[in-house]
Amino acid sequence: MQLQSFVAGKWVSGEGDGVALRDATTGMVVANATADGLDTGAMLTHAREVGGPNLRRLTFHERAALIKALAKHLGEHKDELYQLSYATGATKGDSWIDIDGGISTLFVYASKGTRELPNSRVYVDGGLEALSKTGTFVGQHICVSLEGAAVHINAFNFPVWGMLEKLAPTLLAGVPAIVKPATQTSYLTERTFRIMVESGILPAGAIQLICGSVGDLFEHLTCQDVVSFTGSAATASKLRQHPVVMANSVRFTSETDSLNSSILGPDAGAGTPELDLFVREVAREMSVKAGQKCTAIRKAIVPAARIDDVTAALRAALGKIVVGDPRLENVRMGPVASLSQRREVLEQIGRLKREAEVLMGEGGKPALVGADADRGAFVSPTLLYCRDPSRATAIHSVEAFGPVCTLMPYATLEDAIALARRGGGSLVGSVFSADDAVAARLVLGLAPFHGRIVVVNRYCAKESTGHGSPLPHLVHGGPGRAGGGEEMGGIRGVMHYMQRTAVQGTPDVITAVTGRWVRGARELDPGSHPFRKPFGALAIGDTFNSAEREVTVADIERFAVLSGDTFYAHMDETQAARNPLFGGRVAHGYFLVSAAAGLFVDPPYGPVLANYGLDSLRFLKPVKPGDRIKVRLTCKEKSLRPSQGYGEVRWDTAITNQHGEAVANYDVLTMVSEKAVPDA
């Protein structure tokens, strides 16, 4: 079977036979792949002229809905993906991480897009900046979709998750993608891609696929395009320095293989849960995906006094790992992805052995269950020990991308930190300690050189995702050798595919650009109380100005009885006079919020279904008995939830006193029905 690429809406075969892709266990040919002859310039044109406009017509919420539908659809077809995944050398557990993990990432981004992004096409970044004395000239950062294409170049070890974790934030940002998986496992990516295309969920031009080399794709990149790369540091450096990338300042974010460390705290003695958890995690990271993880533990850094305990425990744990055909239920570790990958791992082990002794394994030919060591790309779990890691170099620079880890001792926390930092930048580090002070010292020491740090102890172990699991909510990336880029990271990941622009002008201009009312912009007369208007009839800027209410001593004292808040500043004139901020009794801040609600709420049954919260509440000036307050309520932002029959409306709320001075500012959040309510 020859794999095809998906080009400008059509499945296309490359020229020639291409590369034979083999089952990592049996050596049998699974497929052939080539992208020779593809018109990559046409792919970029299609993405920019068809995919981009189709995606940008949709709001963030509409894109999130597509991503959710895509996740559900893939979930219905994952069984066939599991079967094909065995050919990559993955066990069922490995495939769960890759396939279900990728689908889960889509679900997370769909949820975040709906909850954390507006139902619009413009993202407002940060608050309004006052640029003039009277407020007629202001500034606001906004983010809009780039009008190019995202080129995703993925690694071989996660052919499904690697694609989906990049696609989710890209599509949510409104940018079409061209996916280029690593060739050796691209048959699994291609099948997943076909399922997505056949679903018809995504608009035309949103996604394209290259199975094979990128050819001259980079020659056609512009400043509106983005390259997101996962793989080796050497390849990342080469691509980053491509003349077109440099000349056009093409955005380039990379996540590259790094030397990741796990540190056992000095408090974790023999028999402690932390030592047991540490050993279990190191063994797991060596065996999951046969150690072919960019986040795998390569350096296990242990207090010198605990080396013997950890060595014995790791020997026992690794000795229980059954290696063989990943299709068998009792097999815990399959082969690496290919024979060429095995050769590379064994070569790197040879370099590490110059500075470290082998405690267990030798790479070579392990004892296998249901598999042939000559046909399959198997590598033994290999544990090394470096007695003097501070003087070594290879263990801090050479990565054997397989089931390989090096134990190394440390004397002090500073030594442990220094050893971890010798990797020159890592994707992840982990700490196993029940001493919070130790954990804090290690985290702060590791942070400048790591993109993510996970601390595990007996209290969180059951719910911890462990050392090697990147999560869509958090940044996946790291400095230096780790690539200097970011993937995922929640909404941060979406922003990689958007342009941040500073807009300066009047408040009315900012309101028109963002679709969000800002203070100083025009206040519209709604013609009736805005709470009488259904969601669709409300206009941004619709404003209600209340009557005044005098605040009295009786109000303050009744609120104190009702709430139980008898703080001296509200109840004792003498003591309150001593407070330099108040100089006498003042009203409760929460009384003011409650009184304001009484001033602006329209009591009869109407389209407003519920008040579900307040945001950004600030008390700006004390209110004393005898002061008079009033409220200005303005429709600030709207977000329709069509499947729920209502929309969410954010109201900019300002309480002022009789002098027109601001007393409190906040946003009121309401749910408003789509349907009008007839008058009773």
pLDDT for residue 237? 87
CB 482: neighbour CB atoms within 10 A? 30
Q: Give SS3 for 510.
A: helix
405 part of the active site: no
Reading the block at residue 8, the tokens are 């400008």
CA 258 to chain CA mean position, Å = 19
Q: What is the average pLDDT value for the chain, to the nearest integer?
A: 92
pLDDT for residue 566? 93
pLDDT at 679 over 70: no
pLDDT for residue 675? 81
Report the alpha-carbon distance of residue 71 to residue 196 in Å, rounded. 9
CATH superfamily of 38-257+492-499: Aldehyde Dehydrogenase; Chain A, domain 1 (3.40.605.10)
Bridge partner residues of 358 (DSSP)? 384
Query: Which of 649, 652, 558, 549 has the alpha carbon at shortest distance from 599?
Result: 549
Of residues 14 and 114, which shows the higher confidence score?
Answer: 114
CB 304: neighbour CB atoms within 10 A? 14
pLDDT at 305 over 90: yes
219 part of the active site: no
Catalytically annotated residue among 294, 386, 405, 635: 294
Task: Scan for tokens 């894109």, then name that residue.
Answer: 63
Q: Give SS3 for 159.
A: coil
Mean pLDDT within 130-140: 92
pLDDT for residue 30? 85
DSSP H or E run through 140 = strand 138-145
Query: Which of 460, 454, 449 has the alpha carbon at shortest distance from 421?
Result: 449
pLDDT tens digits for range 397-442: 999 989 999 999 999 999 999 999 999 999 999 999 999 999 999 9
Q: Going by DSSP bridges, is the β-strand pair 404-410/297-303 parallel, antiparallel, or unpaired?
A: parallel
Q: Where are the domains of the chain?
A: 38-257+492-499, 262-471, 523-673
pLDDT for residue 364? 61
Mean pLDDT within 344-361: 91
Report the alpha-carbon distance of residue 249 to residue 33 in Å, rounded. 31
Report the alpha-carbon distance of residue 40 to residue 220 in Å, rounded. 8
Contact in structure between 91 and 97 (CB atoms under 8 Å): no
Bridge partner residues of 230 (DSSP)? 255
Please, which pLDDT band fits residue 363 given cuts at 50, 70 and 90? low
pLDDT for residue 36? 82
Please, which pLDDT band fits residue 276 given cuts at 50, 70 and 90? very high
Query: Which of 288, 292, 227 has the alpha carbon at shortest distance from 483?
Result: 227
Catalytically annotated residue among 147, 165, 190, 255: 255
CATH architecture, range 262-471: 3-Layer(aba) Sandwich (3.40)
pLDDT for residue 680? 43
Q: Which amino acid is at 146?
A: L
pLDDT tens digits for range 512-546: 999 999 999 999 999 889 999 999 899 999 999 99
pLDDT tens digits for range 494-517: 999 999 999 999 999 999 999 999
Q: Going by DSSP bridges, is the β-strand pair 177-180/150-153 parallel, antiparallel, or unpaired?
A: parallel
pLDDT for residue 65? 94
pLDDT at 677 over 80: no
Please, which pLDDT band fits residue 234 given cuts at 50, 70 and 90? confident
Q: What percent of the chain has pLDDT over 70?
A: 99
Contact in structure between 582 and 622 (CB atoms under 8 Å): yes
pLDDT at 40 over 80: yes
Report the alpha-carbon distance of residue 180 to residue 11 in Å, rounded. 15
Please, which pLDDT band fits residue 674 given cuts at 50, 70 and 90? confident
Contact in structure between 1 and 202 (CB atoms under 8 Å): no
pLDDT tens digits for range 622-651: 999 999 999 999 999 998 887 788 889 999
* pTM of the entire predicted model: 0.91
Around 43, how many Cα atoms within 13 Å sit in the side-chain half-sphere? Answer: 31
Report the alpha-carbon distance of residue 481 to residue 463 in Å, rounded. 30
Mean pLDDT within 547-561: 94
Q: Give the helix ranges, DSSP H, for 326-452.
A: 339-352, 413-421, 436-446
Report the alpha-carbon distance of residue 510 to residue 126 in Å, rounded. 13
CATH superfamily of 523-673: Hotdog Thioesterase (3.10.129.10)
Contact in structure between 87 and 30 (CB atoms under 8 Å): yes
What's the DSSP call for residue 98?
A: I
User: Strands, E, within 367-514: which ranges?
Assistant: 382-385, 404-410, 426-432, 450-456, 475-478, 485-488, 498-505
